[in-house]
């Protein structure tokens, strides 16, 4: 029987064949917009010459421009003359940097440092240090898999620790009524935590409030944590940048270590050296002795290796050169003091302006707070009005970056805030 011929099936070209098919990523939901990025985008789209961006967490000079420290420029000149290679760093980073950075934080006379009992690793800025610490604690801290962070805290703390495998809980910190520290609530929450819980502490220049405990309050916090055997994890992103003094800003860290706490510490050199894009940081842990330090160090390498293998080179060389060269170190200290001083001056200018304009409310919290950020106490409707009517951009909760203010815009900002609070904007 003769076979019946069938028409050949038409085969679509490869570039057409899967058109209209379901994408592998079709079920991926859109993530929420970043609140800081939204502020920046709105600022960029605004054409008004009076516009002010107070959302960005980076230092700006008196003219509102990014500032590269002279100490950094000179360090780069020295490095260029040395014509260094571009080889991989060890997993835990540049030894000259890790040693100098740990000394800056703990102090030259630190007993754990002198006994070689501090495990330290270079990190991808403060964010990377926190992530390394979270992952290490998640694997090896035997007493808890939860970490308590202050309310409020830096917005990235929760996702960093959550993605590290830790449960994130909160303790009271900020008092909205006084726009200051809720010290009573803080102490009560510490006392009510399960023993040996992990507690995140902002070493200085609390982000986002700018509200820090006093040295005496830090001593009380240390005593309570020692009594409850709580584990302190310090985030120190602003050493020197807060008060202008590296030793003053390291008070809490050094006091806790002196009191016998085995702390974890995350450091960043983004703010105090202006090395934002270089991503320079350090994570460290106080251990019992050199043998324990060696074991901890070996496990830190195992945590880091699958993350990013080894850290960036150039920024660590810059920081190490500054920290190890006495002339550059002195220059750097003077520049950090100048940056901190300019922000402190802006705080006083803003406070005095608001008082002179008879702005309703008590504005003393502006000068009591410290560091780059200030919780102004402005309400969401007021911040919305400032953006829409005065072209002044900040996060909806009223947090501002003090570094965005300068002699050219402080009066306009003060007048606009006063009008917003009075309902006259």
Catalytic residues: 154, 235, 271
> For the chain, percent helix, then strand, then coil, each to nearest 5?
45, 15, 40
Output the CA–CA distances (angstroms, integers) from residue 27 to 30, 75, 118, 355, in the order listed: 9, 49, 46, 53
Whether the Cβ atoms of residue 373 and residue 399 lie closer than 8 Å to each other: yes
Mapped to the 3 state alphabet, what secondary structure does 10-54 carry?
Answer: CCCCHHHHCCCCCCCCCCCCCCCCCHHHHHHHHHHHCCCCCCEEC
Task: List, in sequence order, every residue forming a beta bridge with 377; answer none if it has no partner.
Answer: none
Both structure tokens of 58: 């980076």
In sequence order, the 6+-apart residues with CB closer than 8 A to the CB of 400 are: 54, 55, 373, 374, 376, 394
Element (H, E) at 200: strand 198-202
The Cα 245–Cα 316 span in angstroms is 22
Whether the Cβ atoms of residue 114 and residue 125 lie closer than 8 Å to each other: no
The three-class DSSP label of residue 365 is: helix
Element (H, E) at 132: helix 125-140
Q: What is the largest CA-CA distance in the chain?
A: 107
Phi/psi at 401 (5° precision): -90, 115
Output the CA–CA distances (angstroms, integers) from residue 314 to 64, 275, 288, 329, in the order listed: 26, 10, 32, 18
> Helix crossing, 314-324 with 70-82: angle to 10°?
110
The three-class DSSP label of residue 338 is: helix
DSSP state of 87: P
DSSP state of 309: S
């Amino acid at each position: 029987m003769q076979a019946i011929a069938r028409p050949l099936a038409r085969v679509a070209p490869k570039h057409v064949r899967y058109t209209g098919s379901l994408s592998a990523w079709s079920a991926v939901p859109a993530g929420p917009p970043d609140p800081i990025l939204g502020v920046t985008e709105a600022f960029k789209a605004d054409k008004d010459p009076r516009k002010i961006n107070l959302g960005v967490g980076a230092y700006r000079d008196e003219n509102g421009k990014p500032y590269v420290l002279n100490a950094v420029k000179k360090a780069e000149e020295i490095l260029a003359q040395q014509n260094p290679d571009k080889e991989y760093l060890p997993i835990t980073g540049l030894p000259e940097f890790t040693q100098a950075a740990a000394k800056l934080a703990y102090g030259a006379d630190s007993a754990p440092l002198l006994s070689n009992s501090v495990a330290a690793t270079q990190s991808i800025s403060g964010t990377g240090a926190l992530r390394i610490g979270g992952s290490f604690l998640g694997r090896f801290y035997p007493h808890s898999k939860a970490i308590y962070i202050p309310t409020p805290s830096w917005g990235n703390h929760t996702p960093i620790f959550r993605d590290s495998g830790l449960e994130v809980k909160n303790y009271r910190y900020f008092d909205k009524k006084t726009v200051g520290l809720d010290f009573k609530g803080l102490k009560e929450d510490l006392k009510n935590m399960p023993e040996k819980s992990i507690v995140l502490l902002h070493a200085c220049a609390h982000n986002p409030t700018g509200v820090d405990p006093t040295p005496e309050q830090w001593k009380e916090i240390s005593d309570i944590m020692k009594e409850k055997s709580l584990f302190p994890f310090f985030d120190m992103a602003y050493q020197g940048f807060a008060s202008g003094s590296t030793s003053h800003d390291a008070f809490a860290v050094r006091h806790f270590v002196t009191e016998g706490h085995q702390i974890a510490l995350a450091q960043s050199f983004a703010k105090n050296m202006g090395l934002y894009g270089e991503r320079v940081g350090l994570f460290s842990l106080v251990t019992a002795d050199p043998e324990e330090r060696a074991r901890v160090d070996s496990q830190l390498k195992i945590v880091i290796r699958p993350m990013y293998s080894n850290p960036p080179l150039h920024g660590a060389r810059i920081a190490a050169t500054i920290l190890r060269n006495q002339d550059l170190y002195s220059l750097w200290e003077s520049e950090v003091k100048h940056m901190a001083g300019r922000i402190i001056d802006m705080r006083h200018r803003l406070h005095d302006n608001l008082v002179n304009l008879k702005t309703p409310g008590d504005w003393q919290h502006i000068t009591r707070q410290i560091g780059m950020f200030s919780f102004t106490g402005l309400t969401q409707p007021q911040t919305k009005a400032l953006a829409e009517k005065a072209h002044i951009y900040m996060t909806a909760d009223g947090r501002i970056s003090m570094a965005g203010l300068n002699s050219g815009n402080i009066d306009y900002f003060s007048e606009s805030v006063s009008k917003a609070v009075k309902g006259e904007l």
